[in-house]
């Protein structure tokens, strides 16, 4: 099947736009492979420090004969998705020895749970935790002791941060190893119903707590299709997981054998192996475009509209929201997984999952088939699903979906497009997830109710001030203002207003959760209000029109009137919960469309100085 011409055109544009920065990146990783820090180049004192506590592995580490795998782990046992990783390092060390290698934990990274910090002060450091994770990944790999990297991480900012850090060591082969989703619990639709009842005061906190505990109840990733599971999809469609491994449950024999297979495969794709596949060559322009296609085909988290550009930039690749918008026009939505449907990722996996999805997109010419993957045999291997045979993992052809209510082929999609629109107008430029909103609500025109804090929105709702047609504007929520927290706490409240028959929309320079709800939302608006963006000029009562049909977001106010207004004064920066420690990141961050990263902005500034 030939590639869709729009896919080809977008890829060619990304390649052309990235020519200079990609070349600089490839030159960097080539220099690092030839002359950078590595085990053979360490002085005896350096190496002695690094192997002092290695026990029976010391002899192998001293001779540098086999691959030494550096494990970067995001383990903690507060996050359900990461709790299974506690046992992985010991397993990985055994699996490495089976192929004549060794493994060491190179470093740990912080791993925030956005579910825990949602609506709390800690959410204001959530996005910047991605930069911290990238930095801590670089710290771990900086010792030069490793010929391959196993990365253990799943959720929200963790996978993007791991990849951003590891890409600066892109001469090393790298595999991301998932742990899988928890068993299905309370249906997501019922959980959402209870949340709305609580927002209306119709059920108490005990009932809400029961519902939440029935939803999030065991080890593993949350089962709705939010940012965590979108990350897992992304790593597989980029060829950085082993085929079919994203949604295999934790604490199963198959899950363990997939980890073993990943470590064995890592030994083969190292510089000393038979099939060298460094991370920096696997993550190329085609892989990044494949990531965007996967996001759109599955109706994934809008957070990835920030993370994909950031991960790409770490590899010298520049992709923007116009590219996503143009791909969205030709990539059909093929899944219905909550919040875009009633079923969860376990059901998606059971009816064919990633192998069926990838196979159908390849057949339709909507994925690049020639990307360099970590799997032997290339991207066509990702049509296959892993199974146990005689206690060993083998891969079999997956075939088409067995339930078209959850997963379909491009010839019979749920939607003809990918459900993500770029929104532009006199209020700025942002993102709108049309796939989660009923088409009859794509156009909302109503008076604005303008807030600087999400808590003020909830207070206004409780006081009955929002019981009407309204465009709720929450500004000073961008990365420079307060770290760009998710505003998912507002979803049940706004959904109540919508269910009462009102026309409701949200406009914000902040983020929404990966589980973006059914209320129309224009998010990630830039330039943000904190730096004088147009949202700072809005006033209560201004008519605002949000139209996903046309991709326009506008204040229906004369331009001369807007120009005469003084921008609203930003709220004072907040201390507490460590937020003050992140001031240096808020002061240096770039636009969400570029990835909203302080470290990448500083890196690009340094590169510009070097080339001047």
User: Quick one: pLDDT at residue 611?
Assistant: 74
Residue 276, CA atoms < 13 Å, CB-side half-sphere: 9
Q: What are the strands, taking DSSP E only, across 74-219?
A: 102-108, 148-152, 174-176
pTM reported for the whole predicted model? 0.95
User: Quick one: pLDDT at residue 435?
Assistant: 83
Q: Using pLDDT thresholds of 50, 70 and 90, give the confidence band for residue 533.
A: very high
User: Residue 512 pLDDT more than 60?
Assistant: yes
User: Quick one: pLDDT at residue 516?
Assistant: 62
- The closest of 28, 156, 159, 50 to 106, measured between CA atoms, is 50
Residues in contact with 191: Cβ distance below 8 Å, sequence separation at least 6, in sequence order: 211, 212, 214, 215
User: Residue 402 pLDDT more than 60?
Assistant: yes
pLDDT in tens, 232-290: 999 999 999 999 999 999 999 999 999 999 999 999 999 877 899 999 999 999 999 99
User: Quick one: pLDDT at residue 609?
Assistant: 81
User: Quick one: pLDDT at residue 191?
Assistant: 82
Q: Using pLDDT thresholds of 50, 70 and 90, give the confidence band for residue 300.
A: very high
In which residue are the tokens 């996001």 written? Answer: 295
- Residue 222 marked as a ligand binder: yes
User: Quick one: pLDDT at residue 351?
Assistant: 97
User: Quick one: pLDDT at residue 318?
Assistant: 98
User: Quick one: pLDDT at residue 338?
Assistant: 87
User: Residue 514 pLDDT more than 60?
Assistant: no
pLDDT in tens, 200-221: 889 999 999 998 889 888 999 9
Distance CA 442, CA 117 (A): 30
Query: What mean pLDDT do residues 487-509 have?
Result: 93
DSSP 287-325: HHHHHHHHHHHTT--TTHHHHHHHHHHHTT----HHHHH
Q: Using pLDDT thresholds of 50, 70 and 90, give the confidence band for residue 107.
A: very high
User: Quick one: pLDDT at residue 424?
Assistant: 97
User: Quick one: pLDDT at residue 515?
Assistant: 57
User: Quick one: pLDDT at residue 612?
Assistant: 66
Query: What mean pLDDT do residues 148-166 have?
Result: 97
Q: Are 292 and 308 in contact (CB under 8 A)?
A: yes
- Residue 155 marked as a ligand binder: yes
User: Quick one: pLDDT at residue 526?
Assistant: 95
Q: Picking from 168-172, 189-193, 374-378, 437-441, which range would have the lowest pLDDT averaged per residue?
A: 189-193
pLDDT in tens, 26-71: 999 999 999 998 998 999 999 999 999 999 999 999 987 889 999 9
Q: Using pLDDT thresholds of 50, 70 and 90, give the confidence band for residue 2.
A: very high
């Amino acid at each position: 099947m030939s590639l869709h011409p729009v896919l080809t055109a977008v890829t060619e544009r990304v390649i052309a736009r990235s020519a200079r920065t990609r070349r600089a990146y490839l030159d960097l990783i080539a220099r690092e492979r030839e002359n950078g820090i590595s085990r053979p180049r360490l002085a005896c004192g350096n190496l002695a420090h690094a192997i002092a506590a290695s026990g029976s592995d010391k002899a192998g580490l001293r001779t540098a004969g086999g691959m030494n795998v550096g494990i970067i782990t995001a383990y903690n046992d507060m996050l359900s998705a990461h709790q299974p990783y506690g046992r992985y390092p010991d397993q990985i060390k055994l699996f490495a020895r089976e192929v004549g290698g060794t493994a060491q934990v190179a470093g740990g990274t912080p791993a925030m749970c956005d579910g825990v910090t949602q609506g709390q002060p800690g959410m204001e450091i959530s996005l910047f935790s991605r930069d911290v994770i990238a930095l801590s990944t670089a710290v771990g790999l900086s010792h030069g002791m490793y010929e391959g990297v196993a990365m253990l991480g799943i959720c929200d900012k963790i996978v993007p941060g791991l990849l951003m850090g590891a890409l600066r060591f892109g001469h090393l082969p790298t595999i991301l190893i998932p742990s899988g989703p928890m068993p299905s619990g309370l249906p997501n639709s019922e959980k959402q119903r209870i949340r709305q009842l609580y927002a209306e005061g119709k059920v108490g906190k005990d009932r809400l707590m029961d519902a939440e505990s029935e939803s999030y109840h065991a080890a593993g990733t949350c089962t709705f299709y939010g940012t965590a599971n979108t990350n897992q999809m992304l790593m597989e469609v980029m060829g950085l997981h082993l085929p079919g491994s994203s949604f295999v449950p934790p604490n199963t024999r198959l899950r363990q054998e997939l980890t073993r297979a990943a470590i064995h495969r890592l030994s083969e794709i190292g510089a000393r192996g038979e099939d060298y596949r460094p991370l920096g060559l696997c993550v190329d322009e085609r892989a990044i475009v494949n990531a965007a296609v996967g996001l759109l085909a599955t109706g994934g988290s809008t957070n990835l509209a920030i993370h994909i550009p950031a991960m790409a930039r770490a590899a010298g690749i520049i992709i923007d929201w116009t590219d996503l918008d143009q791909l969205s026009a030709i990539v059909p939505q093929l899944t219905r997984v909550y919040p875009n449907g009633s079923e969860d990722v376990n059901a998606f996996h059971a009816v064919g999952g990633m192998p069926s999805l990838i196979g159908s997109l390849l057949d339709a010419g909507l994925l690049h088939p020639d990307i360099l993957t970590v799997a032997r045999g290339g991207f066509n291997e990702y049509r296959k699903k892993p199974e146990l045979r005689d206690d060993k993992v083998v891969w079999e052809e997956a075939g088409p979906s067995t339930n078209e209510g959850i997963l379909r082929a491009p010839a019979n999609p749920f939607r003809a497009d990918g459900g993500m629109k770029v929104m532009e107008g006199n209020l700025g430029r942002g993102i709108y997830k049309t796939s989660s909103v009923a088409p009859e609500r794509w156009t909302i025109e109503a008076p604005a109710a303008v807030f600087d804090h999400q808590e003020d929105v909830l207070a206004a709702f409780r006081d009955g001030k929002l019981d009407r047609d309204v465009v709720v504007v929450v500004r000073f929520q961008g990365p420079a203002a307060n770290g760009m927290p998710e505003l998912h706490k507002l979803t049940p409240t706004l959904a109540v207003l919508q269910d009462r028959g009102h026309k409701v929309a949200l406009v914000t320079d902040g983020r929404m959760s990966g589980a973006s709800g059914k209320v129309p939302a224009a998010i990630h608006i830039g330039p943000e209000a904190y730096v004088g963006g147009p949202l700072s000029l809005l006033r209560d009562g201004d008519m605002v029109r949000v139209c996903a049909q046309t991709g326009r977001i506008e204040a229906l106010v004369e331009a001369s009137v807007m120009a005469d207004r003084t921008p609203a004064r930003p709220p004072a920066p907040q201390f507490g919960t460590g937020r003050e420690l992140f001031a240096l990141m808020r002061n240096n961050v770039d636009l969400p469309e570029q990835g909203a990263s302080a470290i990448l902005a500083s890196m690009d500034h340094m590169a510009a100085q070097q080339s001047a």
